[in-house]
Chains A and B, each alone.
Chain A
Amino acid sequence: MARALQDGPPTEPAPEGKEWKKTSKDVDGHPVDHWILVDKDDGGPTWPARERLSLLNKDIERVDGAEKVTGAAVYSHDVRLEGMLYAVVLPAAIPQGTYSLDLDAARAVDGVVVAQDVAGGEVRYLGQAVAAVAGITPDHARDGLRALGVEFEAGEWALTREQAMAEGAPAIGRRGNRRSGRARGDSDATRAALESAAAAVEAEYTLPVQHHVCLETHGVVVDYRGGGEATVYASTQGTFTIGSEAAGTLGLRDSDVTAVVEHMGGGFGSKFGLDIPGDIACRLALEAERPVHLLLDRKGESSFVGNRSGGWQRVKAGCDETGKLVALDAEIETYGGLGRGSNPGLPYIYDAQEYSRVQASVMTNTDSSRAMRAPGHPQASFAMESILDELAYEAGLDPLELRKTNLSDPVYHRQLDRVAAEIGWSEHPNRTAPGTGDGWTATGIGFGVATWGGGGRPVCEVDVKISSDGSVTVEVGTQDLGTGVRTYVAAIVAEELGLQVEQVTPRIGSSRYGAANASGGSVTTACLAPSVKAAAWAVRRSFLEKVAGARGVDSGQLKCADGAVHDLSSAAGKLSWSAACALLPSEGVAERGKWNHKLAGNGVHGAQGAKVEVDLKTGQVQVLEMVAVQDCGLPLNHLALRSQLNGGMIQALGYALLEERVLDPELGLNLNPNMEDYKIPGSMQMPLMKAIVDEEDDRQVVIGMSEAAVIPGASAIANAVHNACGARVRELPLTPDKVLAALGRV
């Protein structure tokens, strides 16, 4: 049986009183199963039964919504400091070679303060940052860039797989341009099983390089004025990934650097660490001894801060008469520029009786790929879900049923059935054969499934304080990427204390607060929420003990509910919140909470479906409807979960139909490093969307799910296009020319 994503649990037995708990961790943006030793039972908090929750597991309005809709929310882009300089960066216009520049000419420009060579005269990839200038405004800094008179001298490059693998291609990697990974599975058994399969198919699938397109570009504002300390306002997914790197560049001690992430405008896996723009900003600030604002322009954003790797996969698959996958063989290449790219491997989350695969990455003179929301998974999903559909139609089977036949986990069966019911599969005519492609338009339906780890681990340290004036604060250094972290941090505390969300003040986004994980691999909820719960649980107990002591009753007789403290020992014993808090000592009560494994789970499931209309004369694809059913253990905030599910589907729609970095391999140019030529989904492309939180999942633990949401959508859309009209497009994005070609019209 092939399970692509797991390694085995530890073989050593757990010590007395401990047990192994499976969770997940993020390694270079990849979720990796991870076992940790935990106490069997520490008597700590548990999540209340769902019917007893008054705030959680419901729709909770974002606590910072008003700030965001009135423009009051301050992002790193918006930080304004006395004497601050604005910096701009020049990306290389060649993929490989050398350059020269005249820094003094830039420094002589009116309004320019600092100019620096960033790459030491050598270019290794197209768009690499080569020079930076800081001036009194961005316009003045750009004047400086122009005055540098940069001259590029191009050497030999390879921007495509074909160029990288050609005879006499320039050596990009130290160990060759193609690096092979480990072969897996049993190729002989797979070959034999394929030969005896009732139905078999073979196909090649190609994937583009996709950009993250964070609306707030990468960068920081460094507040350094030559003294012994600095503050870095960073657009980052990890408050605690900034400080030591910035300190290293600025020559300070780690403890003298504060990182601040009040709000951040999108990361999707690309924003960890000080990064190239942050490092440049620190160097400019060091020279100028003034604060420097360096948030990239779109060109820089499209050039040297990462992407989702492209790829190619050749897949052979065979099934028996019932649709059971008897064999799957895959040859996988990833295209991650100077990086390796990613693909978790096939048969992805499906079961195959026999499988084999070989994997390799091909290097080019382009920016290294980075983690991008579920790194590698949409790529693997596209090949796997496509080949399953091809196999189903080859065998004359219903592709929905064939999926269930090859998914051992019953959760997927119920989720696929729910998606099918929502999208109208049973009334759809093309269930075992695609449409013919005759007529003007055709409608089709396709499916896909997703998995993710999303487990937690002990990182976060959360402080909750109740003051004698009745105010409640919760502090932790975590960052809110827009997922609603700030909101559930407040809501968990409010739930525990029987308060309304707005009675709790969440303070996040500073390295001066308690430690927190970086938000990669959808681990934040499972790392953070248990720690918040533990702190709130501890502070409630301390609070009630103090109140009980002041009233001379047993704290076991007191209960926080409905914005009051109820004294169960006397019939009329109810204290208002402020009256109860007034009984506290002047310093109030405060507790720190750490991670509690009983509150966090690991492993989510999702299923999605898409209904499309294909214009058979123009090849245009319009997605009519998308449905997602997703579990995540205990849902903290349904409203924010639906937002995340919608977002995943929409980004997948972009991957399916629109998004692709386009290079000119002959001239060595990036042809769409902007938002007018690199298209992301807009309002006019929006289908009807149904984002459904799978409430049949009754696990009383929290698990991250947002990466799962982006995985199956593009596969479902591609399958729906084929289901509509028989046009099997094996290369994303499904642009009209490819649809027409698949229809045999061009």
Chain B
Amino acid sequence: MRYRGMRSDPSPERGEAVPDDKLEVSRRGFLQGAGGAAAGALLIQPDAAAAPKARKSGEQSVTLMVNGESRDVSLEARTTLLDALRIRLEDPLTGTKLVCDRGTCGACTVLLDGDPVCSCLVLAVDAVGHEVTTVEGLAPEGEMNAVQRAMCKHDGMMCGFCTPGITVTLTAFMEAQPAATREEVQAALSGNYCRCGTYPHVFDAALEAGRELQEGK
């Protein structure tokens, strides 16, 4: 019976980061534990293979192109683009948010050569040679683009933690399809979760930005 750790999962044996909740019950532990709640003491232990030997970090220096600037950054092969931006850069860019770390919520969305991607799913080394645009780089310093202005006007935010991801996604989408309908905007945002419930105001903002972008062309 396969329980966890299917082939497509990241593997510590291969030096890949394994999400914590995939570690704490091993396949062996699972089989031992399959007796049920009332079966008395049972033992669950992390898979021995999942507890790596102390390993020397493989730090390396790479150059990332972020918001039009060339940035040297020291990182490991396993470092995600998200962690490179938020943690590894000398002057970190923390506008991009870490929320689910699994590509579900879209809070970490950045543009890679103009296309929105979840930076938690991109290894930083794979971004070398590509243009990375974060929320901080959507408009020149001290200015806002059409989407950002409309988000403010329509209150397309509350706590604001999803806002950078939504703003990045919407910027790419509205610039590509400024005549998009509300339904198309909904579909474009289907990878961005908001918990406070800003969606209706975000849709309003997107449509207004679209009108502005069309008039500007």
Contact indicator B30/A684 (Cβ below 8 Å): no
What B residues does A642 contact at CB under 8 A?
155, 201
Interface string of A622-658 (1 = CB under 8 A from B): 0000000000000000011011101111110000000
Closest to B141 in A: A70
Nearest A residue to B50 via CB reads: A146
Within 8 A of B (CB), among A383-399: none
Q: Is A470 an interface residue (CB 8 A)?
A: no
- Contact pattern, B 131-172, Cβ under 8 Å of A = 1, otherwise 0: 000111011000010011001110111111111100100000
* Residues of A with C-beta under 8 A to B164: 68-69, 71
Complex CA gap A284/B198 in Å reads 36
What is the CA–CA distance of A586 and B83 in the complex, to the nearest angstrom?
Answer: 48
Residues A65 and B152 in contact, CB atoms below 8 Å apart: yes
Distance A111 CA – B41 CA, assembled complex (angstroms):
35
What 0/1 pattern do residues 12 to 55 of B give for CB contact below 8 A with A? 10000111110111000010011011101111111000111011
> A681 contacts B44, CB within 8 Å?
no
Q: Does B7 contact A (CB under 8 A)?
A: no
A18-55 interface bits toward B, Cβ cutoff 8 Å, 1 = contact, 0 = none: 00000000000000000000000000000000000000
Best-buried of A69, A147, A153 by chain B (most CB within 10 Å): A69
Which residue of chain B has its CB nearest to the CB of A108? Answer: B54
Q: Which residue of A lies closest to B205 (CB)?
A: A69
Q: How far is the CA of A149 from the CA of B46 in the complex (A)?
A: 7
User: Cβ of A117 < 8 Å from any Cβ of B?
Assistant: no
- Chain A residues near B107: list those with CB within 8 A: 215
Chain B contacts of A666 at CB under 8 A? 36-37
Task: Closest B residue to A63 by CB, please name it.
Answer: B152
Chain B residues whose C-beta falls within 8 Å of the C-beta of A62 in the assembled complex: 152, 155, 157
Q: A69-B151, A676-B104 are in contact. Are A145 and B195 (CB under 8 A)?
A: no
| A435 at interface, CB cutoff 8 A | no
Q: Which of B44, B83, B193 contacts A154 (CB 8 A)?
A: B44
B38 touches A156 (CB 8 A): yes
A217 to B152, CA, bound (A): 24
Q: Is A680 at the interface (CB under 8 A from chain B)?
A: yes
CA distance A639 to B57 in the complex (A): 50
* Contact call B95/A137, Cβ cutoff below 8 A: no
Of all chain B residues, the one with the shortest Cβ separation from A216 is B161
CB-based nearest A residue for B89: A80
**CB of B175 closer than 8 Å to a CB of A:** no
Nearest chain B residue, comparing its CB with the CB of A303: B21
Cβ-defined partner of A667 (8 Å) among B30, B135, B157: B30
User: Which residue of B has the minimal Cβ distance to A640?
Assistant: B155
Q: Is the interface of B mostly helix, strand, loop or mixed?
A: loop
Q: Is A698 an interface residue (CB 8 A)?
A: no
Q: Is A676 a contact partner of B100 (Cβ separation < 8 A)?
A: yes
- By a CB distance below 8 angstroms, the chain B residues around A111 are 57
Provide the bound-state CA to CA distance between A418 and B135, in Å. Answer: 41
State which of A68, A140, A675 has its C-beta within 8 Å of the C-beta of B163. A68
Determine which residue in B93, B105, B107, B134 has the highest number of CB atoms from chain A within 10 A of its CB, and name it: B105
B11 at the interface (CB under 8 A from A): no
* Bound Cα distance A651, B12 (Å): 37
B158 touching A482 by the CB < 8 A rule? yes
**B55 touching A72, Cβ below 8 Å:** no
The interface size of chain A toward B, counting residues with CB under 8 Å, comes to 95
The segment from A86-94, A460-468, A606-614 found at the interface with B is A86-94
B20–A299 touching, CB < 8 Å = yes
Q: Does A142 contact B (CB under 8 A)?
A: yes
A147 touches B193 (CB 8 A): no
Does A143 touch B at the CB level, under 8 Å? yes
B 119-137 binary contact with A (CB < 8 Å = 1; else 0): 0000000000000001110
CB of A681 within 8 A of CB of B197, answer: yes
Tell me the complex Cα distance, A647–B198, Å: 6
CB neighbors of A among B188-212 (8 A): 189-190, 192-203
Complex interface bits, A115-158 against B, C-beta within 8 A gives 1, otherwise 0:
00000000000000000000001111011011111111111111
> Within residues 405 to 435 of chain A, which ones have a CB less than 8 A from any CB in chain B?
none
Known: A68-B163, A138-B83. A673 touches B200 (CB 8 A): no
Contact of B157 among A65, A109, A137, A682 (CB under 8 A): A65
* B56 CB–A CB distance under 8 Å: yes
**Does B152 lie within 8 Å of A142, measured CB to CB?**
no
- B5 touches A (CB below 8 Å): no
Q: Which residues of A contact B158 (CB under 8 A)?
A: 482-484, 643-644, 647
- What distance in Å separates the Cβ of B57 from its nearest Cβ neighbour in chain A? 5
Q: Which of A261-269, A333-341, A735-743 contacts B (4 or more CB under 8 A)?
A: A261-269
Q: How far is the CA of A139 from the CA of B101 in the complex (A)?
A: 12
Binary CB contact string for chain B from 69 to 91 against chain A (1 if under 8 A, 0 otherwise):
00000001011000100111000
Out of A151, A215, A268, name the residue touching B45 (CB < 8 Å).
A151
Is A78 on the interface with B (CB-CB < 8 A)?
yes
Q: Bound complex: CA of A231 vs CA of B42, how far in Å?
A: 43
Chain A interface residues (CB < 8 Å from chain B) = 61-62, 64-66, 68-75, 77-78, 80, 86, 88, 90-91, 93-94, 97, 108-111, 137-140, 142-143, 145-159, 163, 168, 213-217, 263-266, 268, 297-299, 481-484, 639-640, 642-644, 646-651, 665-669, 673-676, 680-684, 686, 689, 691
Give the top 7 A-B pairs by smallest Cβ distance, nearest first.
A71-B95, A647-B197, A265-B161, A482-B159, A650-B197, A482-B158, A78-B94
* A/B interface sample: 10 pairs, CB < 8 A: A62-B152, A69-B156, A78-B86, A80-B92, A142-B17, A145-B20, A216-B99, A643-B201, A646-B198, A647-B196
Other 10 A-B pairs with CB < 8 A, given A146-B18, A156-B40, A643-B158: A61-B155, A62-B155, A69-B151, A69-B152, A137-B87, A150-B24, A151-B43, A151-B44, A298-B102, A675-B105
